[in-house]
Structure 1
Amino acid sequence: MMSDTAVTLFLERVRADGHRPALRLLAAGGAPRDETLTWRAWAERARAFAAALVANGHRPGEHVAILAGNGLEWPVADLGVLMAGGVSVGIYPTSAPGQVRQVLEDCGAAFVVVDTAAQLAKVRAVRHDLSGLRTVVATEADGGMDVIAWAEWMAHGEAALGGVPEIGHTLAQRTNDASPDDTAILIYTSGSTGEPKGAMLSHRTILASAASIRDTLGLHAGDRSLSFLPFCHSAERIFGLYTRILVGMEAGLVPDHTRVWKAAEAFRPTLFGGLPRFYEKAADVLRAERLTAAGDERDRWERTLTLGTERSRLRRAGQPVPPGLEDAWRTAGATLNDRARALFGGEVRLATSGGATLPLDVAEMLDALGITILGGYGLTEHLCAVFNRPARYAFDNAGPPMPGTELGIAEDGEVLLRRGALTFSGYHGRPRETADAFTDDGGWLRTGDLGRVDAHGALRISGRRKELIALSNGKKIAPLPIESALAQDPWIHQAMLYGEGRRFVSALLVLSRPELESWARRHAADPDDPSVVHDPRLYASIQAAVDRINAGLSNPERVRRFALLHLPFEGDDLTPTLKLRRAVIAERHRDRLEALYQEP
């Protein structure tokens, strides 16, 4: 029988590969110890979790929330919820108590699973507001009467399966009764422009998306990947969890994302998927090694990068790489290429990046060292939109459509995606917002992004429709491409444009730490002193960088004034997917921004 739900897909994988490792919890990734689950063991635990749900009164279609990091509990609970006929809802582990309340209240979760005392405290702080929440399961239960310990919950499920035949029959019936169009999971959008909404993804969407990803990247059962991005995010849930189930890939679970490099060394993934920041850190390590190299080693660096850059240019243009160039690059860069690969575990064959624009200099440097990073574009509501391919890729566009996706461009430049199996079903409990997400005829998903399709069929994103800055003269500015260009300058780490209702565009600029330290040494300044950003000599250097970017912009787009920041945008300044929370940042730095519009 062909799989038509995420549960039947999972059970088919278990029947085919039950003895093979499926999940490996990594001590190198911050876990207390290494632990491996085979596909069959994963299924047995998930079924025990599902049995405990049914024994505790869970009804088909009820929502179960998971507030946890990347440990074994997440995939066990997630599949258990689906086996019980429920809807699985992820909550970001970094959420504040108020945000936890918001999600639990919006989805009406009857059960919630938490994995640490800190997460349990968040739920307890808001539980009095949640009349529908019946049960809290905690892996680090403290003996309180208001929670059930994970071990006790799982033992309860196992006992129910062994001693109450009706429980097993109920689970089998719920699996058989599930429809491909039933909602399987809710993924809450990050809320950079408003209140988070729960995007409903059906079993059909999950299976179609996983197949599109497999076919786009050429994945196979021999591949291995790390799981360190939050499971509650669409990328890790679909590109990660369910695609791994479809393909039969083994996953290394990394509870502490700051340990990802140690985890890669231990697990040796063949596929590495991450956000741009992870690749920036890898490039920083390699740049530092290049700067300290001397003599023959320095010459080797320069020759490898020169040859590798030309090789990359040809590959991106779809042109053959002459055998002489390929041999010279491999000979000159053998040790350096191995060093770059070692950062990712030594066996990576595919690397992907999403969530934000990967800086061009990072992509080009890593590609010159043999680490090709494939970028794409998608959104929670239609994750598998466009993607670059291993055999034909570019760094200045998001790639052509993925299998099952049709692109369109509206008259105002908004990117549209044809509604189909890859598209979400709507926002939970929000019919008006669901209707607004589509064109008037309901046939196309409105992405909110501006872009165009180039002559090769690749999508080029130019900005965010909802994030356009409307100047007082009526001109509208797309901030994202300008911010990306600014951040590619060696002096600038992050940039945020500002100017809604103003007569010109201004910017908040976060300085690159290496450049700041280098400048401070030359000028006998203290890079750790926050007041260093007010030094006129430093300002002059940054002005030159801004002028370089402005030279390629139209007059209304040019950054006329800017303020320098000593500390990066982080924490509340960013969404869980590392997008700028513009309103939060603008309010935090209101005085500095206002000063930019005062006459000298």
Structure 2
Amino acid sequence: MPTVVAFETLTELFLNLTNKYKGKKKTAFGRKPSPNGEYEAITWEKVAEDVNAMAAYLVEHGIEQGDRVAILSENRYEWAVVDLAIQLVGGVNVSLYTSLPPNQCEYILQNSEAELFFVSTGIQLKKAIEIFESCEHVRQVIAFDEPRVESQLEEPYVVLYENVMSEGFKLYPKHEEEIHERTKRIAPEDLATLIYTSGTTGKPKGAMLTHRNIVSNVKAAHQHIHIDENDRALSFLPLCHSFERTAGYYAIIAGGGEIYYAESVDTVAKNLTEVHPTIVMSVPRLFEKIYNLVTKSVEEGSTVKKKIFNWAFDVGRQYADGKRGLTALQKPVADKLVFDKLKERTGGNIRFFVSGGAALPAEIGHFFMAAGLNILEGYGLTETSPIMAANSYDHEKMGTVGQVLPGVTVAIQRLEDNKIIAQLSGEDYPTDLTSEPGEILCKGPNVMKGYWKNDEATREMIDDEEWLHTGDVGRFVDGNLQITDRIKHMIVNAGGKNIYPGPIEDLFKTSKWVDQLVVVGERQPFMAALIVPDFEVLEKYANENGLRYESMEDLLAKDEIQSIFKKEIRYYSDELASHEKIRDFRLVSHEFSVESGELTPTLKVKRRVIEEKYGDLIEDIFADAAV
């Protein structure tokens, strides 16, 4: 479906949307001013006033075309105002994850040479104050929230957002003509944003995405997936990540949809029932948690409850696979008995979820499809703006990331000899194309301009023929792209066998006892795993079975608990090839997290960090192994 307005730049997207909806009281965004309050709608007229005021402030304070402006904030309306104002005056948005420590924020601000720094809460303002003296280009820090620590406002370079807006409203008549002239000079090839990779190793690199990169991806997404003025999205994935930026923000407003901001990641379950969204962008972790909660509830229920659930699931699977007749008559009953409660918990209006950022276990995708909650899994990188391929509504193929987007070309390059063995563009739909695995390459208008001030890294990523090398292994299956794993994640065992840990880890995520799992075994005679249990399930089991323990470490060491995980390992390993089976494991007493440095801000495992941090456990596993 086409977008509701024509545009070639993000600047034009904003201008044409505000013109289209002028005087129509059309909702653009929704926010919750206080935790106990209700959501309030913000119209496009209000958005236009606020963005123009912010743009006037940026001009007054010396932001020229091409200058960088940084934002360190959770998803919220102010984030959108600042971003749209940056695009309006030709600036470049530099966004930072709120989970980043001060030293990493400092590096990004220094590397990007950002001149103004917008921050959200007092926690983020504290970081800004700590690093301000080291960031020579930053002239001012603007705080969205009034800090509880009054001394933070005593710094001469700190100003409040509300004061900035008041000044901007007064300045707009002065700079209106200048802003108008700038909008006419902004071209598709101009830089729109720097998105710094949250890579698992080394310093972050700033991917340079132009207006053309992002706009081409937004338009391609609209050709692939239907989004219109009746849609409402709940936004909670970080806007500094390209998935939420393109798919959950620009693509939604380009279709005339509304964006409501979750209060926080922790309140998503509650906000779903308040906002009643039709579209939700998420990472697999959310779906995994919902799936495990449901299956845990079923397993703890009566025999009758289990039989009803299994029957409903079978009916839902058959219906999702296109079967009708008796199945069509049974489906409403299955919904009423089992699935309607789940739909209510997601707000009751979901048309589809979109999953990205990591692989979605196929079994979990099938579960949601059976429930009538479609998940459209997609794939891409920050460097590809980001979408390269995605499933489309009613054409989902679980276990794949769907078809290549219009305008994008994807190729599979054999690892052994670097020969391209298969290639598809978004205009081709050969449902019989199946290829052997290889590295996934990409070419198209969505491919980044390069890495900011890092030509060497750019040359490593994009070759002389303009193919971007993703570092991911995949193949085509019946015309759909299937992801295997990262090349650098490949484990080579003692026998020389290549093993990709990703699919193995996804398999174990469906166990109610397992929260997180990392496969290890480089140059070893067998595969093993570090397992983070589902502590809630574990503690409930311990209480019900009279297991006394003084600490989590004490509980995990008990023979009864070790026995449970031995059985789970054997059960799931039956589905694996001999060289892939998990032969041993160690339980970890705390969750892998962003704060502890074991996950990236997009919740990807930092394997090298985990292997170093838990080196003693890994050594213990293989201490007696014959080499």
- Whether the TM-score (by the shorter chain) exceeds 0.5 is yes
How far did residue 270 of structure 1 move?
Answer: 0.8
* 1:130 match: 135
Question: Structure 1 residues 500, 522: CA separation in 2 closer, same or farther (over 3 Å shift)?
Answer: same
Moved more, 13-22 or 287-296: 287-296
**333-342 or 217-226, larger mean C-alpha shift:** 333-342
Specify the code of the residue in structure 1 equivalent to 2:136: S
Question: How far 1:20 sits from its partner (Å)?
Answer: 0.3
Residues 282 and 343 of structure 1 are in contact (CA less than 8 Å); yes or no, is this contact kept in structure 2? no
- Kept in 1, the 8 Å contact 2:56–2:179? The answer is yes
DSSP 3-state at the match of 2:585: strand
2:86 and 2:215 mapped to 1: Cα distance? Answer: 17
C-alpha distance 561-216 of structure 1, shift in aligned 2 (>3 A)? same
Match of 1:157 among 137, 154, 168: 168
Q: Which of 112, 116, 139 matches 1:111?
A: 116
Matches of 1:297 and 1:561, distance apart in 2: 34
Partner of residue 490, structure 2: 468
- Aligned pair in 2 of structure 1 residues 526, 277: CA closer, same or farther (>3 Å)? farther
Q: Distance in 2 between matches of 1:428 and 1:495?
A: 35
Aligned-CA RMSD value: 2.3
Within the alignment, does 1:177 sit opposite 2:181 as a pair? no
Question: Tell me, what secondary structure is at the counterpart of 1:175?
Answer: helix
The answer on whether the counterparts of 1:92 and 1:576 sit within 8 Å (CA) in structure 2 is yes
Deviation (angstroms), 1:597 = 2.1
Alignment partner, residue 62 of structure 2: 57
Q: Distance in 2 between matches of 1:365 and 1:505?
A: 29
Q: Deviations over 1:300-347 (max 9, x none)?
A: 4343223113323xx2xxxx3223211211134225332111111111
The 3 A distance-change label for structure 1 pair 213 and 125 is same
Counterpart of 2:429? none
Deviates more, 1:468-477 or 1:293-302: 293-302
Task: Give the whole-Å Cα distance in 2 for the aligned partners of 1:264 and 1:547.
Answer: 38
SS at match of 2:277: coil
**2:548 & 2:388 partners in 1: Cα distance?**
47
User: Residue 64 of structure 2 aligns to a residue in which SS?
Assistant: coil
Tell me the residue number matched to 2:125. 120
Q: How does 1:340-359 map to 2 (within 5 A)?
A: 340-359=342-361
Spell out, residue by residue over 1:63-119, the C-alpha distance to the aligned partner (whole angstroms, 9 max, x if none).
000011112110000001111110001111111111111211111101110111111
Match of 1:252?
A: 260
Measure, in 1, the Cα distance between the counterparts of 2:553 and 2:568. Answer: 21
After superposition, the Cα gap between the structure-2 partners of 1:36 and 1:130, relative to the gap in structure 1 and judged at 3 Å, is: same
Q: How has the CA–CA distance of structure 1 residues 292 and 543 changed in structure 2, closer, same or farther, with 3 Å as cutoff?
A: closer
CA distance in 1, matches of 2:179, 2:548: 65
2:278 is aligned to 270
1:255, CA displacement in angstroms?
A: 3.0
Q: Which residue in 2 is equivalent to 1:369?
A: 371
Q: Secondary structure at the match of 2:90?
A: coil
Aligned to 2:221: 213
Higher alpha-carbon deviation: 168-177 or 584-593: 584-593
Residue type matched to 2:393 in 1? Answer: P
1:561 is paired with a residue of what secondary structure? strand
Taking a change above 3 Å as real, the CA distance of residues 122 and 326 of structure 1, as seen in their structure-2 partners, is same
> Does the residue aligned with 1:113 lie in a helix, a strand or coil?
strand
Shift of 1:25: 0.3
Show the counterpart of 1:82: 87
User: In structure 2, how many angstroms separate the alpha carbons of the residues matched to 1:550 and 1:338?
Assistant: 34
Task: Name the counterpart of 2:587.
Answer: 564
Do residues 587 (structure 1) and 612 (structure 2) align?
A: yes
Partner of 1:97: 102
- Indicate which of 491, 507, 516 corresponds to 1:494: 516
Shift of 1:194: 2.7
Q: Which string of whole-angstrom CA distances, capped at 9 and with x for unpartnered residues, describes residues 177-220 of structure 1?
A: 11101110111111113321111111111111111222222111
> Offset at 1:442?
3.0
Q: What SS does the corresponding residue of 2:209 show, helix, strand or coil?
A: strand
Distance 1:482 1:427, change over 3 A: same
Report the CA distance shift for 1:68/1:280 in structure 2 as closer, same or farther (over 3 A): same
Report deviation, 1:24: 0.6
- Distance (whole Å) between structure 2 residues aligned to residue 555 and residue 297 of structure 1: 36
Counterpart check, 1:147 vs 2:161: no
Say whether residues 1:23 and 2:35 are aligned partners.
Answer: no
Change over 3 Å in CA distance of 1:522–1:180 after alignment to 2: same
Work out the CA distance in 2 between the residues paired with 1:462 and 1:5. 35
The aligned amino acid for 2:234 is L
> Cα 1:538–1:288, aligned 2, differ >3 Å: closer, same or farther?
closer
- Structure-2 separation of matches of 1:475 and 1:290: 39
Contact 1:492-1:511 within 8 A present in 2 as well: yes
Distance of aligned partners of 1:468 and 1:291 in 2 relative to their CA distance in 1, 3 Å threshold: closer
| 1-structure distance, mates of 2:469, 2:514 | 33
Q: Does 1:7 align with 2:18?
A: no
- Alpha-carbon shift at residue 233 of structure 1 (Å): 0.9
Q: Normalising by the residue count of structure 2, what TM-score does the alignment of the two structures yield?
A: 0.88
Residue pair 1:360, 1:488 contacting (<8 A) in 2 also: no
Compute the displacement of 1:421 (Å): 1.1
> Which whole-Å CA distance do the structure 1 matches of 2:307 and 2:555 have between them?
36
Alignment of 1:446-461 (within 5 A): 446-454=469-477, 456-461=478-483
Q: Distance in 1 between matches of 2:612 and 2:306?
A: 47
Shift of 1:237: 0.6
Tell me which of 443, 449, 467 is aligned to 1:425: 449
Q: For structure 2, list consecutive stretches of 5 or more residues without a partner in the other structure.
A: 416-436
Partners of 1:491 and 1:335 lie apart in 2 by 26
Letter in 2 for 1:463: D
For 1:443, the equivalent position in structure 2 comes to 466
Q: Determine whether 1:222 maps to 2:230.
A: yes
1:577 Cα deviation (Å)?
A: 0.8
The answer as to 2:409 corresponding to 1:406 is yes
The code of the aligned residue for 2:163 comes to E
Identity of aligned residues (%): 30
Provide the secondary structure at the position in 2 that maps to 1:23.
strand
**CA offsets 1:138-177 (integer angstroms, 9 cap, x no match):** 1235432221211121122221113x2xx22221121111
Structure 1 spans left out of the alignment, 5+ residues:
none
SS state at 1:397 partner? coil
SS of residue paired to 1:381:
helix
Question: TM-score scaled to structure 1, two decimals?
Answer: 0.92
C-alpha deviation, 1:403, in angstroms: 1.8
Secondary structure of the equivalent of 1:252?
A: strand
> Which one is further off, 191-200 or 244-253?
191-200
Q: Is the 8 A contact 1:31 1:255 kept in 2?
A: no
Give a deviation string over 1:369-398, Cα, whole Å, max 9, x none. 221212121111111111112111122111
